[in-house]
Every structure is written in C-alpha cells, then in structure tokens.
Amino acid sequence: RKMLSSGVCTSTVQLPGKVVVVTGANTGIGKETAKELAQRGARVYLACRDVEKGELVAKDIQTTTGNQQVLVRKLDLSDTKSIRAFAKGFLTEEKHLHILINNAGVMMCPYSKTADGFEMHIGVNHLGHFLLTHLLLEKLKESAPSRIVNVSSLAHHLGRIHFHNLQGEKFYNAGLAYCHSKLANILFTQELARRLKGSGVTTYSVHPGTVQSELVRHSSFMRWMWWLFSFFIKTPQQGAQTSLHCALTEGLEILSGNHFSDCHVTWVSAQARNETIARRLWDVSCDLLGLPMD
C-alpha cells in the first residue's frame, strides 16, 4: 500500500472559518475526506442518508481532530425532496459554502428507481448531485473563491450517454449503469466549469483510485476481485487524497474542469470530452429535475 501512496495531497492549506459539505461522508473515501478537512479547521457538514451512522462518525472525527464543528445533516440523494430540504436547511443556517465535495455514490445495485422515478445510478450519482450543486451554487458564488469536487471514476471509460436509454428503459446492466453515471459526473464537471468561468467558483472531477470501501456491497464478484487484489488496493485515506488535492491545493483554479487521478490531471474518454454531449446532458438533467435551462 505504501507503493501506491504516490498521489498524496501535499497542500498545507488550513481552513479556519471555511465551510465544507461532503456527501456520503459516513463511510469510505467521504469519511476520510471529511476527517482531513476537519483536521484543517473547517466547519464540516456530513451530508448523510443515515443520520445515526453519521452522528457516530461525527463523534469519531471530533475526538480524533479536536474540531467540534463537525455537523450531520440528512441528505438522501435518491429523493429530490430530501435534497431540497437539505439545501433549504443549509442555506438558512450558513452564510458561506467554500467547498462542496460530491462524493456519495452507489455501484452495481440491482435495477431500482429513486423516489422521483430515476434509475438509481444516474439518479443518485449524477442527478442527485446535479440538483444539490444547483441549489447551493449561489452560496458558493457568494463565498468565492470556492470549489466543487465531483468524485467520478476510471470506470467512466466504459460509460456512454445514450439519451434514449438514460434511465435504463431499453437496456440495463448494473455495471454499465455505474459507468454511465460516472461519465455523467465528468461531463457535468466540464460543463459546470465552462458556465462558472470568471465567477471564482472552480470545479474538478476525480478518480480516487481503487479503494477498499463498502461500495462493492452489491456485487459478490467485485468483493472477490477486491479481496484478490487487496494488496494493490488503496485505503480510504489514500483514496481521499485526490479529492483533498482538488479541494485544497493553491493555484489549481486554471485547471478547473479537469479530471484528476493520483493528484494529477489525467486523460478522460472521448465521450467525456464531448462538449455537445455535455451541454445536452445539462439540458436533459434540468428538464428531468424541473430546473430552468439557462
């Protein structure tokens, strides 16, 4: 595991007075990301589906970092009502938002739908975060310089955005559905970066590496693969490094819209670079979520 620690966030930036939201912060990469941001003095919101689990993690982070400003708020990305309620609560209680880490994700779950009828992978991983970001965007702009980090995956290389099958209505494969949603994370990041030019808000997508976590819970094949290659698999703390690099490193603003792995800009698939698809996905997402297209 030491061999794989090449991608380490070396930023020494401290975050007193800064406000951070991390989605899916009660396990895995999100938990380690939140812990490090708390260690640096930020007020950290753990946006979690399971508030009880979140509270245990918040206590743990408070104890290890000595930072009491670790707060848990309910956020279920598979329900737009919950996303709107989270945003409303957050906007009422906080004046600023400096860092938003869109980290939560589901992988290879059996075919199922969100409360709003979206296929689960595209619904949670893409549309849920799309709506959350949209609702928090004014606050991020007011708090500039601020950053949005979208946790995607190398798996996006196998993804394709088929607009006629966005919800798996014609064909569904759980593994591919995950890949499509991670491609959507990158397209979203690039279009968002274009739209945010000059606003002081920058955005980055991330491949965290292959990381030991609960993500593989739905697939016994993937659990077996993880076990087989466990020596090469990163710890969640190592997996958090690239998100932290994009959230913290000074002077990264000129790289807004880029995709990072091991704390370096890395290449993405041809479709992930396609501006036309990115723009259309933006419009389709607004349409599905009932947001104005501007």
Compare residues 184 and 248 and give the one whose CB is closer to ligand NAD.
184
Sheet holding 70-74, edge to edge: 70-74, 43-48, 19-23, 99-102, 146-151, 201-207, 259-261, 264-265
CB of 200 to ligand NAD, least distance (A): 26
Strands 19-23 and 99-102: parallel
Measured distance CA(135)–CA(165) in Å, rounded: 26
Catalytic residue among 45, 111, 178, 204: 178
| Dihedral class, residue 172 (left if φ above 0, else alpha if ψ from -120 to 50, else beta) | beta
Measured distance CA(80)–CA(16) in Å, rounded: 32
CB of 124 to ligand NAD, least distance (A): 5
Spatial contact of 46 and 73, defined as CB atoms under 8 Å apart: yes
Compare residues 217 and 279 and give the one whose CB is closer to ligand NAD.
217
Tell me which residue of 262, 248, 266 sits closest to 189, measured CA to CA.
Answer: 266
Compare residues 30 and 257 and give the one whose CB is closer to ligand NAD.
30
SS3 286: helix
CB of 285 to ligand NAD, least distance (A): 17
Compare residues 39 and 210 and give the one whose CB is closer to ligand NAD.
210
β-sheet bridge partners, residue 201: 146
CB of 211 to ligand NAD, least distance (A): 4
Degrees (nearest 5) of the Cα angle 191, 209, 41? 75
CB of 188 to ligand NAD, least distance (A): 13
Q: Is 111 a catalytic residue?
A: no
CB of 78 to ligand NAD, least distance (A): 4
Compare residues 87 and 151 and give the one whose CB is closer to ligand NAD.
151
Instruction: Give residue number: closest CB to ligand NAD.
Output: 28
Q: Rule CB under 6 A: which residues touch ligand NAD?
A: 23-24, 26-30, 49, 75-78, 103-107, 124, 151, 153, 207-208, 210-211, 213-215
Spatial contact of 140 and 69, defined as CB atoms under 8 Å apart: no
Compare residues 3 and 254 and give the one whose CB is closer to ligand NAD.
3
User: CA of 219: how far to CAs of 31, 109, 118, 125, 215, in Å?
Assistant: 22, 8, 21, 17, 9
Euclidean distance between the first and final Cα of the chain, in Å? 46
Catalytic positions, written as ranges: 178
